[in-house]
């Protein structure tokens, strides 16, 4: 398993809501494309999220191959990443932090799952746009960079940046 730990005492209300939203979202999303949450609990002033374990992420894989990945592997991985986002978007969820570190990959490359739903949001409807400025800077869509409303296509922009 993998464990994500939060110090409850150090949190403000925003952080507390973010953690609760992430737990709710992960419990709702039962898919081969989303990392599974096994348990969430509080103990001694800390909140723990227990996830299924993956030994690497896309960034680890890229760094391991200094001359680049083979084209067929890249195609297979990115097909799975797009399927992940297609699943999330079909549930009216925008991830908002798609980056190599948040793409988990099994050692044989057969499984790929997206993780870290701390910035993710439920959208009230399919065409709803957000205005909050989030996402890791290297993967921000043009709309985010200029402060315009953005939606699901911002996740796809991040995929293209990888």
CB burial of 99-119 (b: ≥16 within 10 Å; e: otherwise) equals bbebbbbeeeeeebbbbbbbb
- Answer yes or no: 12 catalytic: no
Q: How far apart are CA 51 and CA 66, in angstroms?
A: 29
- How crowded is residue 11: how many other Cβ atoms within 10 Å of its Cβ? 14
Integer Cα distance of 88 and 70 in angstroms = 27
List the alpha helices (DSSP H) in 29-133. Answer: 58-64, 71-90
Q: Which two tokens stand for residue 57?
A: 């992420």
Name the nearest CA neighbour of 162 among 91, 90, 97: 97
**Which one from 70, 97, 108, 155 is the annotated catalytic residue?**
97
Q: Active-site positions?
A: 97
């Amino acid at each position: 398993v993998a464990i994500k730990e939060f110090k409850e005492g150090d949190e403000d209300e925003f952080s507390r809501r973010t953690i609760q939203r992430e737990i709710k979202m992960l419990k709702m999303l039962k898919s081969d494309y989303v990392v599974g949450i096994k348990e969430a609990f509080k103990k001694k002033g800390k909140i723990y999220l227990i996830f299924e374990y993956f030994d690497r992420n896309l960034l680890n894989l890229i760094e391991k191959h200094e001359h680049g990945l083979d084209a067929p592997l890249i195609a297979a991985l990115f097909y799975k990443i797009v399927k992940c986002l297609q699943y999330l978007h079909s549930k009216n969820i925008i991830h908002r932090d798609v980056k190599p570190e948040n793409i988990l990959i099994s050692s044989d490359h057969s499984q790929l799952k997206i993780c870290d739903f701390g910035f993710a949001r439920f959208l009230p409807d399919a065409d709803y746009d957000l205005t909050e400025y989030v996402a890791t800077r290297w993967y921000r869509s043009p709309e985010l960079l200029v402060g315009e409303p953005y939606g699901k296509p911002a996740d796809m922009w991040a995929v293209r940046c990888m």
